[in-house]
Amino acid sequence: MAVRAVRGAVQLDRDEAGHMDERVGELLTAVLERNELVADDLISIWFTATPDLHSDFPAAAARGLGIVDVPLICAQELDIDGAMPRVVRILVHVETYLARPEISHVYLGATATLRKDIAQ
């Protein structure tokens, strides 16, 4: 078993807590499913949000999914001119038997353009 990192992102349509919870929950669920992971495989999750998102903490979505005993942290992305707006990114550290090339990084919707090299 190895420690691996899984990347992902999702763009929100609007800055509302319920919408953030829904979209981030969708992203986390996709990461778990595509990599055949369960909550016990999670080591930690780092969430970032663009500066235009301030209605809630993205980590609240993880707690809503029952991920309650995993360290979570939220931070703000750099405010770069021309950057895609309303984006939540994740960096999930996991224990898995998957080799590095087998990891499925999840970029939902328009965010697939952010990392064409690893988006699947």
Write out pLDDT tens, residues 36-64: 999 999 999 999 999 999 999 999 999 99
Question: Coil, helix or strand for 24?
Answer: helix
Asked if pLDDT for residue 76 goes beyond 80, the answer is yes
Asked if pLDDT for residue 120 goes beyond 70, the answer is no
pLDDT value of position 118: 67
pLDDT value of position 114: 85
Q: Which two tokens stand for residue 110?
A: 């328009």
Asked if pLDDT for residue 107 goes beyond 60, the answer is yes
User: What are the tens digits of pLDDT across the range 12-34?
Assistant: 999 999 999 999 999 999 999 99
The 10 Å Cβ neighbour count of residue 49 is 23
106 and 6 Cβ atoms separated by less than 8 Å: yes
Q: Return the DSSP state at 105.
A: B
Asked if pLDDT for residue 116 goes beyond 70, the answer is no
User: What are the tens digits of pLDDT across the range 87-105?
Assistant: 999 999 999 999 999 999 9
Q: Average pLDDT, stretch 78-94?
A: 97
